[in-house]
Amino acid sequence: MGVFSPDALKYYKALSYKKCSEKPLLTKVIKEHNVARVVIDMKSPDASNITCCYSNVIRKKSKKSPDNTIEISDCKNFQHNVTITTTAIMVKCKHNSSSKMVYENVHTTYLIDDKVKKKMIKYNNTRPLSVLLIGIDSISRLNFARSLPKTLKYIEERKWISLKGYNKMDDNTFPNLMAILTGFNDSMVFKTYNPKAIGNLDKCPMLWYKYRDLGYVTAYAEDSASMSTFNYIKKGFVKPPTDYYFRPYVMATEKLKKVSVHRLYYCTGPENAGERILNLADEFANTFKDYPNFGFFWMNSFSHNNLNTPSMMDNRLRKFLIDLEDDHIYNNSLVIFLSDHGMRFGDIRRTPTGWQEERLPFIHFLFPPWFEEKYPKLLQNLRGNTNKLTTPYDLHMTLQHLLVLSGFNYTIKPSDACPQCMSLLEDIPQDRSCKEAGIVDHWCTCEGYIEHKFESNILKKINTYFMEKLGNIISSTAEGNKCVKYKIKSTSTRISERFVNKTGNHIVLSITTDPLAEFETTITYDGNLSVNSTLTIGDISRLDYYAPHSKCITDAYLKKYCYCK
């Protein structure tokens, strides 16, 4: 299956970039000696005969909802410029004669407080490797090549290292990013650090805490506030998890006039929501490029809901990477450009290519030249891992490995969910199995599957088993009584290619139900398949867009399975 597989191309269409404003921004941030001001562009035609005011945006302390509450102060008039003293600042400008709102925006920046200043002084003469993670949700390696050809061409010309066998370890964003940050799987996180309870994520041993405590300046920003990784039906953080935390800023931008593309905020005010995150990443890397830093920047707004919308951002992403190069960021920073998984729902997901793409997100690495000069064997290993099976757990081990290489007194801790996983700078075994890599059967891409029609009595057994399991999942939850009882409308089955030689024992079952929902699962059986075989089921995928039909549910786990009555 390649980039231009016919079953994928049937659903692919390149889209053009959409501007969020036809006019240049009326206000911008200017920084001098750690003093930042929002300045009105007095040369703009819109700057005449207007009155502008500003409101301070702060993260409001709330016991019930500490990560979802911001406070916006009363709007105070200003002329020409105003100094930024808080997390973010909202600007509004009205026409004097008509009182019509002519401009609204929200600005933020990096102000260096005493805590960060101490870190910078500490590393004035030494320079450990910095780490910049740039993530885009729901883009497979193949769709990256289809949708972002200019960006990919730049990456290939600059000889970034790309992993073709980087396999997700679970369904959606949260578990795949937590595997990177903690080395835990989803059940481990929920058992010990249930993110639905206030304060638990603050206690969870995420790697950005390690980097922060070792003196790195840290930052985290993510767009699409309602669906962001640690807040979608979760409580988020009580305290900011990083030195610079931009959720309050993003929440404030979403109070501006918005333009949605495929049900996500593409424009927040006069700026593109994804570009706001890219701008924060660029400013972070430049502000602290002479000091060790760890930045985590994630975008959902132009990629999560549609296969084709990433193509709108090809030029912007390429320019972002070129800007980092022009600003010499690559001289001292490892840049990791990645996704969590491919498209999880929609037409392409019903194809064989879509099945594979969902499981194989893109990931690219660029190390500074000096790193390869100092550690040639490690980069040789990474290049040698290009076509091997790798996982988010390996990236977790890599981020720990980098702390040791940077000279810190740090002991690498094995991944709890994948004790055999290892740093990507080591030589990954060629014959590694999904089990050894911490990947359950349902998400494993090591086996190919071919269509197969079973005898009616065996198919009935498989279907009945699946519907019983699905019913048990729904009924075992507190809100299960809000969901309809599904009936089978149609089914299809695929078997592992090894099944033909009697050595495989996996079946991929796809079921369409009434009311309309589409599910897929991997079923394992013992011995030779018969009506007497013992079946086991792992994770269940939902292939249709289910958000409109599960609004009655607050449980994130149940939402994927429920169709509200």
Helix (H, G, I), strand (E, B) or coil at 167: coil
For residue range 73-96, list pLDDT tens digits in order: 999 999 999 999 999 999 999 999
Extract the tokens encoding 309: 């919308």
What are the CA-CA distances from residue 57 to residues 72, 164, 227, 232, 330 (Å)?
A: 5, 43, 21, 22, 33
The set of long-range contacts for 328-333, using a CB threshold of 8 Å and a minimum separation of 24, is: 328/289, 329/132, 329/285, 329/286, 329/289, 330/366, 330/368, 331/368, 331/369, 331/370, 332/127, 332/129, 332/130, 332/289, 332/290, 332/368, 333/129, 333/130, 333/131, 333/132, 333/285, 333/289, 333/293, 333/368
| pLDDT > 70? residue 130 | yes
Can you tell me the distance from the alpha carbon of 211 to that of 213, in angstroms, rounded to the nearest whole number? 6
Can you tell me the distance from the alpha carbon of 261 to that of 270, in angstroms, rounded to the nearest whole number? 15
Q: Give the pLDDT of residue 504.
A: 58
For residue range 363-379, list pLDDT tens digits in order: 999 999 999 999 999 99
| Residue that has been written with the tokens 């320079």 in this structure | 127
Q: How confident is the model at residue 468 (pLDDT cuts 50, 70, 90)?
A: very high
For residue 121, what are the contacts with CB-CB under 8 A and spacing of at least 6?
Answer: none
Residues 441-451, mean pLDDT to the nearest whole number? 89
What are the CA-CA distances from residue 467 to residues 462, 472, 564 (Å)?
A: 9, 8, 17
Can you tell me the distance from the alpha carbon of 343 to that of 413, in angstroms, rounded to the nearest whole number? 32
Q: How confident is the model at residue 161 (pLDDT cuts 50, 70, 90)?
A: very high
Q: How confident is the model at residue 123 (pLDDT cuts 50, 70, 90)?
A: confident
What are the CA-CA distances from residue 453 to residues 389, 395, 501 (Å)?
A: 30, 39, 16
Q: How confident is the model at residue 138 (pLDDT cuts 50, 70, 90)?
A: very high
133 vs 3, higher pLDDT: 133
Cis peptide leading into 515, omega within 30 of 0? yes
Q: How confident is the model at residue 538 (pLDDT cuts 50, 70, 90)?
A: confident
Q: How confident is the model at residue 54 (pLDDT cuts 50, 70, 90)?
A: very high
Can you tell me the distance from the alpha carbon of 192 to that of 418, in angstroms, rounded to the nearest whole number? 17
Fill in the amino acid letter for 288: F
Phi, then psi, of 519 in degrees rounded to 5:
-120, 155
Residues 35-43, mean pLDDT to the nearest whole number? 97
Can you tell me the distance from the alpha carbon of 565 to that of 557, in angstroms, rounded to the nearest whole number? 18
Residue 219 CB-density burial (10 A; 0-12 exposed, 13-18 middle, 19+ buried):
buried
For residue 139, what are the contacts with CB-CB under 8 A and spacing of at least 6?
Answer: 147, 148, 303, 310, 339, 342, 361, 362
Average pLDDT for the chain = 95
**How, if at all, do strands 50-59 and 88-95 pair?**
antiparallel
Inter-residue contact 135 to 299 (CB < 8 Å) = yes
| pLDDT > 70? residue 383 | yes
**How, if at all, do strands 333-338 and 363-366 pair?**
antiparallel
406 vs 496, higher pLDDT: 406
Inter-residue contact 206 to 289 (CB < 8 Å) = no
| pLDDT > 60? residue 500 | no
Give the CA dihedral 393, 497, 385, 401, nearest 10 degrees.
Answer: 10
Q: How confident is the model at residue 529 (pLDDT cuts 50, 70, 90)?
A: confident
Q: Give the pLDDT of residue 498.
A: 62
pTM for the predicted model, two decimal places? 0.96
Residues 198-207, mean pLDDT to the nearest whole number? 98
Extract the tokens encoding 157: 């010309």
| pLDDT > 60? residue 204 | yes
Helix (H, G, I), strand (E, B) or coil at 172: coil
Extract the tokens encoding 342: 């491919």
Helix (H, G, I), strand (E, B) or coil at 170: coil
Residues 429-454, mean pLDDT to the nearest whole number? 93
Q: Give the pLDDT of residue 4.
A: 86
Q: How many C-beta atoms lie closer than 10 Å to residue 335's C-beta?
A: 23
Quick one: which of 275, 276, 270 has its CA closest to 23?
A: 270
Give the CA dihedral 11, 321, 161, 273, nearest 10 degrees.
Answer: -50
Inter-residue contact 545 to 559 (CB < 8 Å) = no
Share above pLDDT 90 across residues of the chain, in percent, rounded to a whole number: 89
Q: Give the pLDDT of residue 556.
A: 84
Q: How many residues does the chain have?
A: 565
Q: Give the pLDDT of residue 499.
A: 54
- CA-based max dimension of the chain: 83
- Identify the weakest region by mean pLDDT among 253-257, 277-281, 545-549: 545-549
Inter-residue contact 87 to 248 (CB < 8 Å) = yes
| pLDDT > 80? residue 10 | yes
